[in-house]
A = this chain, B = another copy of it.
Amino acid sequence: MNEQEFLSSYDKRAFDAPLVTVDAVLFTYHEGQLKVLLVKRSAHPEMGKWALPGGFVSETEDRSLEDTVVRKLREKTGVIPPYVEQLYTFGGRDRDKRGWSVTVCYTALIAHQVCESHIESVADARWIPFDRVGKLELAFDHEEIIRFAHERLVQKALYSIVPAYALPEKFTLPELQHVHEVIIGKPLQKKSFRRRIEQAELLVDTGEKRSETGRPATLYRMRDDSGSHTFVRNLEL
């Protein structure tokens, strides 16, 4: 086979390939509410609307999609969120005026305090209470993406303790239970909740207590097998 034949046997890309972006639905828990990080778009299309943090893959900076989402999240928050999981990939001809586009979406969780100051310094980024998302006009199909991320998060709150990543390093069980309740949208049974936590064996007692009013609560921390960053691929508890 000569070079000419070799090249013509090559599987070529479509001429006008779709746009590829990566977007993240970053949740946190603050002031008793579930909040989502949104960014005000400074460019067309959809300039001025609120959108998910994200952007184009950088062929030079990124080796993988995870690199891209982490890079984008660090730009806005100053840190790498401890929990990042791929959510779903939305793609189609009509979701972006510029033409066929694909966005690989991630769900991420972070403690509010660890990125509070950095976010304040980024003029266009804001924590928006999840309840208020429906009242904003979001760019593209980002509202649908947020709803989808929330549905998944509800499943996590029911069957896992993943929502703990939305809290600071040390937290109490009543705090964690409240995060779950806010996510699910209804109260949970204290005893059942604690049983689940125990059986999962993912939290460790720090020995410390925190008291506000009433009996002081035990402070727990996530058991860190592995490093401090969790990339999750599947949905089992």
Residues of A within 8 A of B (CB): 6, 9-11, 13-14, 16-20, 41, 43-45, 47, 56-59, 62-65, 86, 88-94, 98-100, 102, 104, 148, 151-152, 155, 233-236
| Contacting pair A43 B155 (CB below 8 A) | no
| Contacting pair A100 B59 (CB below 8 A) | yes
Find chain B residues with CB under 8 A from A18 CB: 17, 20, 57, 59
| Contacting pair A89 B92 (CB below 8 A) | no
| Contacting pair A56 B13 (CB below 8 A) | yes
Partner of A57, one of B14, B59, B62, B104: B14
Known contacts A57-B102, A64-B91, A155-B234, then 5 further A-B pairs from the complex at CB < 8 Å, ordered by chain A residue: A17-B18, A59-B100, A65-B102, A155-B236, A235-B235
| Contacting pair A89 B65 (CB below 8 A) | yes
Find chain B residues with CB under 8 A from A104 CB: 89, 91, 102, 104
Identify which of A9, A11, A65, A93 gathers the most chain B CB atoms within 10 Å of its CB: A11
| Contacting pair A47 B9 (CB below 8 A) | yes
This chain's copy number in the assembly: 2
Partner of A6, one of B44, B59, B88, B148: B44
Partner of A63, one of B43, B93, B99: B93
Q: How far is the CA of A152 from the CA of B172 in the complex (A)?
A: 33
Min C-beta distance of A67 to chain B, whole Å: 8
| Contacting pair B43 A64 (CB below 8 A) | no
Find chain B residues with CB under 8 A from A63 CB: 92-94
Find chain B residues with CB under 8 A from A17 CB: 17-20, 56-57
Q: How far is the CA of A89 from the CA of B43 in the complex (A)?
A: 27
Q: How far is the CA of A62 from the CA of B16 in the complex (A)?
A: 13
Find chain B residues with CB under 8 A from A89 CB: 65, 86, 89, 104
